Structure 1
Amino acid sequence: MKPYQLLSIQDCHESLVPIDQSIFFCLEPHPYLAIGAPYDTVSPFYLRQGVLNALYQAQQNLQSIQPTWKLAIFDAYRPVAVQDYMVNYTFQELLRGRGLTETMLSPSILAAIWAEVYTFWAVPSHDPKTPPPHSTGAAIDLTLVDSDKKLIDMGSPIDEISDRSFPEYFYHQAQRLDLTNQKDDYLKVHQHREILDQAMSQAGFQRHPQEWWHFSLGDQLWAWQIEQQTGQSMVAHYGRADLITSQKL
């Protein structure tokens, strides 16, 4: 269990609503649907109403910094079944990338690889008290695109299992370099990440401590981060979205 999962949830019962794809750029084909994730009839481009309202504000914030850029939605609502599928898919991809199979590894090595996965992926818990953030409809993975719908360089792809995914990675790497072109490149990437964070945080979102692309508002992780920052006791506003009365997706 991660620390944020200890916080209580008092769901406000907001409905899941569709993300307006005329305002935001939605990455399609959807990356998880493309590899067979079991969304069934549910769309990944949905959020709770209050979270979506804040996302509209974040888009306005972004355009006050970069008028021609848009938020690019990678993934939003994610049923627990999809979380389970993607956690296992990521584990198998790590093994394949290293030329390994489960049968050749000791339990301790397997546990270490699973620990890598869970550094970035939430446990696909079915317990209503510990929902994966995306299953609440209050978390979103996103990046930036320019006026030509070209992805802005963020230094690493979404979902990469490496230190490059940590929000401050390129800033810290740049500090270790003398004045070189590589240092300038690292600082530019860091600036792009900061632009995304500024647009989102000014709208009330909190960025995941280990993922430059993941933001949430109202879930347990969001509440826990505010507790850590302020010392104020917090309660999450959003639990698992499929446990509330919501409109048919």
Structure 2
Amino acid sequence: MHLVLMSDPRVAAIPVHECGEPLVDVRDHGFRVDPRKQDPQGAFTHVREGVLARLAHARSLLPAGIDVLFVEGYRPLSLQRRYFTEYRDQLAADHHGWTPEQLHEATSRYVSPPDIAPHSAGAAVDVTLVDQDGHELDLGTRVNASPEESDRACFTHAPNLSDQARHHRAVLLNAMESAGLTNYGTEWWHYSAGDRYDALMRQEPHARYGPIELP
């Protein structure tokens, strides 16, 4: 299966017609929120209004006894730059012979280039599934596992998964896609709507959400 990476020039070529939707806090709408990515300003729990609506719809489509656990939404551009640079530098240290182009593409499997990052537009969510008691279900890897760490089991349709993990991923994927969210194929936990990547995948002429600052 061919994966379109965030580094693909076709993603950056999608124009943004900013719609002006505000960022809203998912904590005000009854979502279970995991604290692992929390920040002092609480930026991580924010998403665009339209993304929240889709996430709420996806949640309603899950089987009884299963719920969404929200891990991260909005990510300030400065933090996105830091994540991208740190991971690129790590790869450069491990692969001395790689060209800048190879490094950029490999980094983009796991961290979006800052200029087109869905998280910095408030358009993306990182989520997993929990049971009714709040215990995380087995989806094969931890949220935010890198391709190196997981032997690429972080890829949504990775072959090296247990039947249980594959089933749980299918449950999540079906609910999120049915609600109008697009998965990034190298990260089973990452979904977005209204950003450049989503627009490309849906063959839409422009994105609705561009980089935004938290008020």
Same fold by TM-score greater than 0.5: yes
Contact 2:128-2:189 at 8 Å conserved across structures: yes
Task: Output the CA distance in 2 between the equivalents of 1:111 and 1:217.
Answer: 27
Contact 1:58-1:200 at 8 Å conserved across structures: yes
What's the TM-score, normalizing by structure 1?
0.73
Task: Output the CA distance in 1 between the equivalents of 2:99 and 2:23.
Answer: 40
- The match for 1:72 among 49, 52, 69 is 69
Shift of 1:90: 3.2
Contact 1:226-1:234 at 8 Å conserved across structures: no
**Counterpart position of 2:44:** 44
Report SS of the residue matched to 2:128.
strand
- The match for 2:78 among 76, 81, 99 is 81
Provide closer, same or farther for how the CA distance between residues 113 and 157 of structure 1 changes in structure 2, counting only shifts above 3 A: farther
Shift of 1:240: 1.0
Give the gaps of 5 or more residues in structure 2. Answer: 1-6
Contact 2:127-2:190 at 8 Å conserved across structures: yes
**Counterpart position of 1:179:** none
Q: Deviations over 1:68-110 (max 9, x none)?
A: 2211111100111111122233346x46xxxxx94x9745378
Task: Output the CA distance in 2 between the equivalents of 1:45 and 1:105.
Answer: 35
Aligned residues: 204
Provide closer, same or farther for how the CA distance between residues 22 and 49 of structure 1 changes in structure 2, counting only shifts above 3 A: closer
Task: Output the CA distance in 1 between the equivalents of 2:103 and 2:210.
Answer: 29
Q: Which amino acid aligns with 1:236?
A: A
**Counterpart position of 2:4:** none
Task: Output the CA distance in 1 between the equivalents of 2:109 and 2:88.
Answer: 12
Shift of 1:189: 0.7
Contact 1:69-1:146 at 8 Å conserved across structures: yes
Q: RMSD value over aligned CA atoms?
A: 2.5
Shift of 1:46: 0.3
Task: Output the CA distance in 2 between the equivalents of 1:146 and 1:239.
Answer: 34
What's the TM-score, normalizing by structure 2?
0.84
Provide closer, same or farther for how the CA distance between residues 10 and 165 of structure 1 changes in structure 2, counting only shifts above 3 A: same
- The match for 1:24 among 16, 19, 31 is 31
Task: Output the CA distance in 1 between the equivalents of 2:29 and 2:19.
Answer: 27
Report SS of the residue matched to 2:191.
strand
Report SS of the residue matched to 1:155.
coil
Q: Could you tell me the percent identity over the aligned residues?
A: 25
**Counterpart position of 1:167:** 156
Provide closer, same or farther for how the CA distance between residues 217 and 105 of structure 1 changes in structure 2, counting only shifts above 3 A: closer
Provide closer, same or farther for how the CA distance between residues 106 and 201 of structure 1 changes in structure 2, counting only shifts above 3 A: closer
Give 1 or 2: higher strand fraction: 2
Report SS of the residue matched to 1:213.
strand
Q: Give the 4+ runs in structure 1 shifted more than 4 A.
A: 109-115
Report SS of the residue matched to 2:125.
strand
Give the gaps of 5 or more residues in structure 1. Answer: 34-39, 96-100, 126-130, 174-184, 228-232
Q: Which amino acid aligns with 1:203?
A: A
